[in-house]
DNA sequence: ACTTTTTGACCGGAA
DNA sequence: CTTCCGGTCAAAAAG
């Protein structure tokens, strides 16, 4: 897998200036409890990065005061796109959040009941907040989402693209069998284990 | 030992 | 053709 030599040389490496800051204790607790945490960081925290803390959800997922704007395309987006590159707004999320709570979901499941892995973050020009990029962690699931969060940790906008080709990873699934088990297990489990999901019509 | 996050660089498309 | 920008990659670090 090396068509060209590329620049496999100077990768400055992601140094992490902020090591073990921000344990958000209560913050997390609130989120798990209500799915609507009260964000009350001291002002200092604005300078601090959440960093990789294996929490139930990152601040970026928090359903706080959502200013969620529909993706600009929504207006013009018609059925032609709905089929595949669908863009949902945060409204769906808020609802999903409640659903997730009912199911008692946590771990890394997000508000929508799916699990996401962050693969990038960027400061985009049009937005004044940094945008984070997430992928659905399911092996063959093409779904991605972009989340813009304010310095306060509030969600400014979430844009989903694509559709999940699997069901939500609910509890009935034996969570992890590291590398030894075939990923098929997980997939099969997902596709059979839950009836909580409404058919995509 | 493993999974996930962080972060700068790279790539490709659009203007 | 050049430049700009958004999206993705991949190594290291941390829990």
CATH code at position A134: 2.20.25.80
3-state DSSP percent of chain A in helix, strand and coil, to 5? 25, 15, 60
Residue A79 carries which DSSP code? Answer: H
Query: What's the CA A120/C1' B10 distance, rounded, in angstroms?
Result: 13
Looking at A20-147, list the stretches that DSSP marks H as alpha helix, in order from N- to C-terminal side: 25-34, 79-82, 90-103
pTM above 0.85, yes or no: no
Nucleotide B1: nearest residue by CA–C1'? A178
Q: Considering its fold, how many domains does chain A have in total?
A: 1
Structural domain boundaries enclosing A140: 113-168
Residue with token string 């958000």? A24
- Please check whether residue A124 lies inside any domain of the structure: yes
- Please check whether residue A150 lies inside any domain of the structure: yes
- Please check whether residue A104 lies inside any domain of the structure: no
- Please check whether residue A137 lies inside any domain of the structure: yes
The whole-angstrom separation of Cα A5 and Cα A13 is 19
| The pLDDT of residue A108 | 53
- Please check whether residue A65 lies inside any domain of the structure: no
- Please check whether residue A76 lies inside any domain of the structure: no
| The pLDDT of residue A119 | 92
- Please check whether residue A121 lies inside any domain of the structure: yes
The whole-angstrom separation of Cα A179 and Cα A138 is 14
**What residues of chain A score a pLDDT lower than 70?**
1-111, 153, 169-201
A65: phi then psi, degrees, rounded to nearest 5: -75, 95
- Please check whether residue A29 lies inside any domain of the structure: no
Query: What's the CA A7/C1' B10 distance, rounded, in angstroms?
Result: 9
Length of chain A counted residue by residue: 201
Taking only the tens place, the pLDDT of each residue in A110-138 is: 667 788 899 999 988 877 788 999 998 88
Q: Pick from A43, A52, A54, A41: which is nearest to A18 by CA?
A: A52
């Amino acid at each position: 897998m090396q068509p060209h030599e590329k620049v496999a040389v100077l990768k400055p490496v992601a140094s992490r200036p902020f090591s073990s800051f921000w344990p958000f204790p209560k913050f997390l607790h609130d989120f798990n409890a209500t799915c609507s945490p009260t964000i009350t960081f001291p002002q200092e925290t604005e300078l601090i990065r959440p960093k990789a803390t294996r929490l139930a959800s990152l601040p970026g997922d928090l359903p706080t005061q959502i200013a969620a704007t529909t993706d600009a395309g929504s207006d013009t987006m018609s059925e032609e796109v709905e089929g595949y590159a669908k863009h949902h707004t945060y409204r769906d999320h808020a609802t999903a959040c409640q659903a997730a709570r009912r199911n008692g979901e946590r771990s890394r499941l997000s508000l929508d009941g799916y699990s996401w892995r962050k693969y990038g973050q960027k400061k985009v020009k049009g937005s004044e907040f940094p945008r984070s990029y997430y992928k659905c962690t399911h092996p063959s699931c093409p779904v991605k989402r972009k989340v813009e969060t304010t310095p306060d940790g509030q969600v400014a906008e979430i844009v989903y693209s694509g559709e999940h080709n699997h069901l939500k990873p609910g509890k009935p699934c034996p969570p992890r069998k590291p590398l030894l088990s075939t990923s098929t297990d997980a997939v099969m489990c997902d596709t059979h284990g839950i009836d909580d999901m409404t058919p995509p019509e």
